[in-house]
Amino acid sequence: MSTTTPTVAVRNLVDGQWTDSVTGRTAERRNPADERDLVSTYPESDAKDAEAAVAGVRAGWHEWAAKTPEQRGAVLEKAATVLEGRRASLVEELVREEGKTRAEATMEVSRTPMNLRFYAGEALRTTGSTIPSSDGSLLFTWRGPVGVVAAITPWNFPLNIPSRKLGPALAAGNGVVFKPSEVTPLLGTRLVEALLEGGVPAGALAVLHGGAEVSKALVADDGLDAITFTGSTAVGESIHSVVRASQRTQLEMGGKNPMIVLEDADLDRAATLIAKGAFGLAGQACTGTSRVLVHADVHDALVERVAAKAEKLRVGNGLTDGVDAGPQATARQRDNVVGHIRRALDAGSRLVTGGPEAPEGADLAHGHFVRPTVFTDVDPGSALATEEVFGPVLAVLRVGSFDEAIQVAGATRYGLSAGIVTNDLARAMRFAREVPAGLVKINQTTTGQSMNAPFGGLKDSSTQTSKEQAGEAMMTFYTADKTVYLSA
């Protein structure tokens, strides 16, 4: 462990002031690759903190809304420049706090300022429409901010996901109460620091640290006009059960993403795409490949190739050169994943590689590591075939036809991402039309999206109230339309 790794005490931002929780309680966030490394401490906030944060932004957001679109855009641009200037330290902090590899963290740290710049442009591009009127009056729609938005985010992209919520929310002139994951309080704080340095008035932005307690209080607060959440389906559904009818709500949730490989596929290409989608980010991507639906004729040949790739991966601390896969982000997450592996074994699935035992190595002794794991002979009705694991565990299911593959692909409650490997254009088209997934990938990994393309799931993966990430679609969520009739 490096001696140049200080612990950062992060604080809430309430009513324009960096502050501790009224509870006085704090919690620790330790490096998931090495629990001896204390990365950050954060306030364990409760309902009183949430109430104060929302009240502060309610009082302060109008100052921000009154800025011109050019001014708001310039602030986001400057925040992006601040983040770019801190790239090296952000990469190191992201690896230490969340557990990505250096390469994965570098990608995220690069993407976040790009998101802010993209939404800086959207501040100027958000337009309404004029409508032919029957009486010669000027009839038009006028778009303004929604008001006070709560943004609740997960830990797996602690800069990138908040940036694609705070970026468009602020571009449109809203005030924001941001509740980062309790797993990544430092990275959430780093984004806020950059936004304040860029020029967002502190009264228009609040940060609340902590877990379910403060988050539940936040979503129940009457002072919110909108809630944007990314996280698990279970938590998303619990939020949905308490929001008011008038509260705009966007819930982006879990997935159980399939990759179809039929008898015509290039198996080397398929194995490469599957291994990347399943084991990249140590399996902790919402769009990660967690099921492979493979034709019986090529089943064994594909499994052999995927297993060989899984076995080659070096698991370890993301700051160590040559490491391909980091740890699970928390001990709880590791235990969950190992629990899934054990239950799959009990259910009779065949373990091809990996397994529930922790990987060996002195450098792995203090982290939450899981072996990249592949199962075959998975019962389509079993937990491994239907529930989100969110770890490096792949369920391979044998299918007899394209029809069966499409049917099995749709046989879970989720509908986030789905992929197919094929050179058959007719099959690719039919797959795109019929597979129930918001993101359809043909000859690509199930993971990874373009920052300017709509992103969101179907079925229980999303409320489908608005697509994330895609310029205009995002601005729709963060703006309220009025229809104006104007006669001189």
The residue ranges that bind ligand NAD (CB under 6 A) are 152-156, 179, 181-182, 211-212, 215-216, 219, 230-232, 235, 238-239, 252-255, 286, 388, 390, 416, 457, 461
Minimal distance, residue 203 CB to ligand NAD, in Å: 23
Minimal distance, residue 299 CB to ligand NAD, in Å: 27
Minimal distance, residue 378 CB to ligand NAD, in Å: 20
SS3 227: strand
C-alpha–C-alpha distance, residues 348 and 379, integer Å: 8
Query: Could you tell me the two tokens for 364?
Result: 């792995």
Nearest to ligand NAD of 156, 476 (CB atom): 156
Nearest to ligand NAD of 41, 215 (CB atom): 215
Minimal distance, residue 13 CB to ligand NAD, in Å: 16
Query: Could you tell me the two tokens for 57?
Result: 């932004």
Minimal distance, residue 129 CB to ligand NAD, in Å: 29
Q: Please give the residue whose beta carbon sits closest to ligand NAD in the complex.
A: 231
For the question of residue 263 being annotated catalytic, the response is no
Query: Could you tell me the two tokens for 238?
Result: 């619990």
**Does residue 377 contact residue 348 with C-beta atoms inside 8 Å?**
yes
Nearest to ligand NAD of 253, 374 (CB atom): 253
**Does residue 94 contact residue 158 with C-beta atoms inside 8 Å?**
yes
C-alpha–C-alpha distance, residues 462 and 450, integer Å: 19
Residue 293 one-letter amino acid = L
Nearest to ligand NAD of 367, 391 (CB atom): 391
Nearest to ligand NAD of 199, 454 (CB atom): 454
Q: Which one is catalytic: 252, 387, 434, 468?
A: 252
Minimal distance, residue 252 CB to ligand NAD, in Å: 4
Buried b (16+ CB within 10 A) or exposed e, 267-290: beebbbbbbbbbbbbbbbbbbbbb
Nearest to ligand NAD of 35, 387 (CB atom): 387
SS3 186: helix
285: Cα separation from own chain's centroid: 7
Minimal distance, residue 388 CB to ligand NAD, in Å: 6
If you ran DSSP here, which 8-state letter would residue 245 be given? T
**Does residue 173 contact residue 226 with C-beta atoms inside 8 Å?**
no
Helix axes 160-171, 185-198, angle to 10 degrees: 30
With a CB cutoff of 8 Å and minimum separation 6, the contacts of 404 are none
Nearest to ligand NAD of 181, 317 (CB atom): 181
Cα–Cα separations (whole angstroms), residue 47 to 33, 52, 230, 406, 481: 32, 9, 21, 46, 32
C-alpha–C-alpha distance, residues 247 and 146, integer Å: 10
C-alpha–C-alpha distance, residues 424 and 58, integer Å: 55
Cα–Cα separations (whole angstroms), residue 24 to 28, 30, 47, 49, 303: 14, 20, 13, 11, 53
* Catalytic (active-site) positions: 252
